[in-house]
A and B are shown apart, each in its own frame.
Chain A
Amino acid sequence: MNIHEYQGKTLFKQAGVKVQNGIHCKTVLEALSAYDNLDSKIVAVKSQIHAGGRGKGNLYDQKTGDLVMEGGVKIAFSRDDVETYSSNIIGRKLVTKQTGPEGKIVNNLYIEAGCSIVHEYYLALLVDREAKSVLIMASTEGGVDIEEVAENTPEAIHKIWTHPVDGLNEKDAEQMADKLGLSGDSKKDLVSMLISLSTMFVERDCSMIEINPLVRSESGEMIALDAKVSFDDNASYRHPWMDEMRDHSEEEEVEIRAHEHGLSYVKLDGNIGCLVNGAGLAMASMDVIKLYGGEPANFLDIGGGATRESITTAFGIILEDDNVEGILVNIFGGIIQCDMVARSVIEASNELGLEVPLVVRFSGTNHVEGKLVLDNCDLDVHTASTLSEGAAKIVELTRGEE
C-alpha cells in the first residue's frame, strides 16, 4: 500500500525525522489559508498523487485534455502564486513518467514552507531480497532520477544493511554520513535520521521509504523534502491505522474488488482474457498467448481456494473489459477440482451471457470429469489438453472474429 507525501511526512515527524512545516489542502481556499498560516514567504505547492516524477510532470484539463501547467510541484513566491498554482493543480490530470499517459487526477495538495538548500541527497530504505535484510541506500546525487545515477555512476550510491534482529548499527550509520561527506551537526542529524527511519521501517512494516531529495540546509540541518512511503499489505492486520491512510481513489477499483474475492487481477491492454489458477501459471499463460501472436487482456489468478462464486466474479471482471474478444481458462487442478471449475464456468457463462469464444484447458485433479462436463453442455466451448494448444486455439478464434 502506498500513501501520499503529506501522510508520509506526518509519520516522519512522529518518528523524529526533520521535515519542513506543511499543510495538507483539498481546495484553493485551503491552500491560501495554509500560506497565511505557514509564516514562510516562499512555499512549495505540491501535487499529491501516488506516483513519482511529479516535478517534471504536466497538468492537463480533465475534459479538454489541454495542457494547463508544466510541473506538478511549484515554488510560490507570493500569495498570488499560491492561488495560481493551486487552481492549476486541483482537479487536473497529472501525467508523469510513472503514471503512464492516462495520468492521475490530483485531489490533494501539500503546501510546504520553503527551505534554503545547500545540497540535495538521495536516501532510501527497502527490503533487499538477496541479502534478506533491510538495505539503506544513499547518494550525494539527489534530486535527480536515481536510476540514472545507478546506471551511470554506481559508485556514487552507498549502501549499508540493518541487522535482521538488532536493527541499524550506529557505527554503520556514522560511516554512511562519512561517505556522504557530512560532518558536525549535519552528520549527527543524518545518523539520528537513519536510526529513526530504520526503527519506523520495522515498527510500521514498511516495504519502502524513499526521500528524494533529502537536503542539507544553510544551517546544516538534514531535512526530508520528500517522502515516498509504502507498506507491506501482508502486515495490515497489525496496523489498523493503515486503513485510515488508504486513498481508495488511487487504487484500481476492479483490482480491489478482485482482491475481496480472493482473486489477483491486473488489467493489461490485449484482447484475450485469461482465468488461471496460480500466479506463475497465470503469467506463463499470458506469455504463451503472446508467443502464439495474441495479446493477453489481463493477469488473473483465482488462487487455490477458488469457489463457484469467486469464479463467477472472475468471469464478470474479465467480461467487463470491452477489449476482451476471447477467453482462455487454464486450470491445473491440485486442490481445485477441474469439474467444479467446469460447472462454475458454465454457470457464469450462462449468467453473464458469454458472447466471445471460450477455450478451456484442464489438467490435474478431475480433468477427465471436467472435460466431460464441458463436452455435455450447451455452451460453445473449445477444450484443449495442453497450454500451447489452448493458447493457439484462442488466438486463432479471436483472429477469426475480426
Chain B
Amino acid sequence: MSIWIHEDSKVLIQGITGKQGTFHGTMMDEYQTNVVGGVTPGKGGQIVELPNKNVPVFNTVTEGLEKTNADVSVIYVPAKFAAAAIIEAADAFDKNGGGLIVCITEGIPILDMIRAVAKVDGYPNVRLIGPNCPGIITPGDNGGCKVGIMPGFIHAKGRIGIVSKSGTLTYEAVAQTMSVNEGQSTCVGIGGDPVNGTGFIDCLSAFEADPQTEAIVMIGEIGGSAEEEAAEWASKNMSKPIVGFVAGSTAPPGKRMGHAGAIISGGKGTAEEKFAAFEEAGIYVARDPSEIGNVLVKALKDAGLR
C-alpha cells in the first residue's frame, strides 16, 4: 500500500498541451505513471503523444472524468488560471465520487487560494495537494506513480513516508533514505505557500494508517505554525517513528526566503521554535539535512525495525 496514489492510479493532466504540461506529462509517462488523458479548454479532441502511449485531450475535467474515470488530476496551468482549475477539478471530482488534485503551479494569488481551498474543504472526498509543490510520488517495482515534477530515478519502493514543505529539500530527504538503503512508500510535497491544501497532519495521519509505511521523514521550514501543530498532534496520535528537519535557522526575521510562506513575522515561526516542538513531541531531530539518513537509522533501530 501507499497513501493517496498507487501504481495503478489513473492520472489526468490539466494544462497538458502547455509547455510544462507536455514536458512533465512525458516524464510522468516515462516513469510508468498511468496518464489517461489531459484537459485544455478549447483543445478537446486533440491527441498528445507520450513515450508509451497517446492520450486524449478534453475540454473540461468533467468530460475527462466521464471518459477516463481518472482518480487523480495534476495541474500545470499558469498561476492566473490555477485557482479556477482547482475549483473545476474539485467540482468534477465531487460529482464523480471523489479524487485527488495535485497543483504544481507557483505564484497563485493568496486570496484565490483561500477561495479554492474553501471549495475543496467543502467536498469530503476531494483532496488537494499544493500549490507550489513538487507533487506526490509512490515508487513501484518498475517505475511507479509520479504525479509532479520530482526526478523519478532518485526514488525506490520502500517503507519510509516523506512529507515536506519544500521541493528540492524533499529530493534531499529521498537521497538520504537511499543512502541508508531505505526506499519510500509515498513522498508528498505539500508546498510552501501560506494557504494550501493538504497539511502535515493529514499526511502523518495517512502514513500512520498505511501498512507499508514504517517510519516518516518530515521536512518543515520557517513561517506559520504548521510544524508545531503537527508535532503536538503526532505526540498523541503517532506510533511510527518520525525524523524531522526544519529549514531556515539562519533566516533573519521579516525577510521572505523564496517561498511566500517562509517568513518569520512578529518573532513567530522560527526554526528554533519548530525544532523545540519536534523534540518535545519525541520526534527525532536532524539539524543537518545530510544527517537525516543516520538519524533515520537510529529511529528505526530504537523501534526495533532495523
Interface of A toward B, CB cutoff 8 Å: 98, 127, 129-130, 132-134, 147, 150, 164-165, 202, 205, 207, 232, 234-235, 237-238, 264, 266, 268, 276-284, 286-291, 296, 299, 301, 304, 332-335, 363-365, 386-389
Determine whether the beta carbon of A132 is less than 8 Å from that of B117: yes
B282 in the interface (beta carbon within 8 A):
no
Determine whether the beta carbon of B168 is less than 8 Å from that of A277: yes
**9 residue pairs bridging A and B, Cβ less than 8 Å apart:** A127-B194, A132-B118, A164-B117, A205-B111, A207-B110, A266-B255, A279-B167, A284-B172, A334-B149
- Give every chain A residue within 8 A of B170 (Cβ-Cβ): 280
Determine whether the beta carbon of B118 is less than 8 Å from that of A290: no
Determine whether the beta carbon of B226 is less than 8 Å from that of A130: yes
Counting from the closest, the 3 A-B pairs by CB-CB distance are A280-B166, A279-B258, A278-B168
Determine whether the beta carbon of A147 is less than 8 Å from that of B117: no
Contact residue among A130, A296, A364, A388 (Cβ-Cβ distance under 8 Å from B151): A364
Determine whether the beta carbon of A333 is less than 8 Å from that of B291: no
Given contacts A234-B260, A279-B257, contact A365 B151 (CB under 8 A): yes
Contact residue among A232, A277, A287 (Cβ-Cβ distance under 8 Å from B247): A287
Determine whether the beta carbon of A281 is less than 8 Å from that of B114: no
Taking the closest CB of chain B, its distance from the CB of A365, in whole angstroms, is: 5
A276 to B289, CA, bound (A): 14
Determine whether the beta carbon of B289 is less than 8 Å from that of A205: no
Taking the closest CB of chain A, its distance from the CB of B123, in whole angstroms, is: 14
Determine whether the beta carbon of A264 is less than 8 Å from that of B258: yes
Taking the closest CB of chain A, its distance from the CB of B91, in whole angstroms, is: 14
- Give every chain B residue within 8 A of A365 (Cβ-Cβ): 151, 153
SS class of chain A's interface: helix, strand, loop or mixed?
mixed
A282 to B170, CA, bound (A): 12
- Give every chain A residue within 8 A of B166 (Cβ-Cβ): 278-281, 283
A33 to B149, CA, bound (A): 60
A130 to B167, CA, bound (A): 21
Interface centre among B79, B114, B117, B166 (most CB of A within 10 A): B114
B244 in the interface (beta carbon within 8 A):
no
Determine whether the beta carbon of A268 is less than 8 Å from that of B267: no
Contact residue among A129, A283, A334, A388 (Cβ-Cβ distance under 8 Å from B291): A388
5 A-B pairs besides A205-B109, A284-B245, A335-B151 with CB distance below 8 A are: A235-B109, A281-B247, A284-B172, A284-B247, A334-B167
- Give every chain B residue within 8 A of A235 (Cβ-Cβ): 109-112
Given contacts A127-B195, A280-B247, A299-B257, contact A288 B107 (CB under 8 A): no
Binds A, one of B39-47, B94-102, B217-225, B231-239: B217-225
Contact residue among B171, B251, B290 (Cβ-Cβ distance under 8 Å from A288): B290
- Give every chain A residue within 8 A of B153 (Cβ-Cβ): 365
- Give every chain A residue within 8 A of B256 (Cβ-Cβ): 266
Contact residue among A165, A238, A283, A304 (Cβ-Cβ distance under 8 Å from B257): A283
Given contacts A132-B117, A232-B111, A287-B271, contact A332 B171 (CB under 8 A): yes
A283 to B166, CA, bound (A): 10
- Give every chain B residue within 8 A of A279 (Cβ-Cβ): 166-167, 192, 221, 257-259, 262
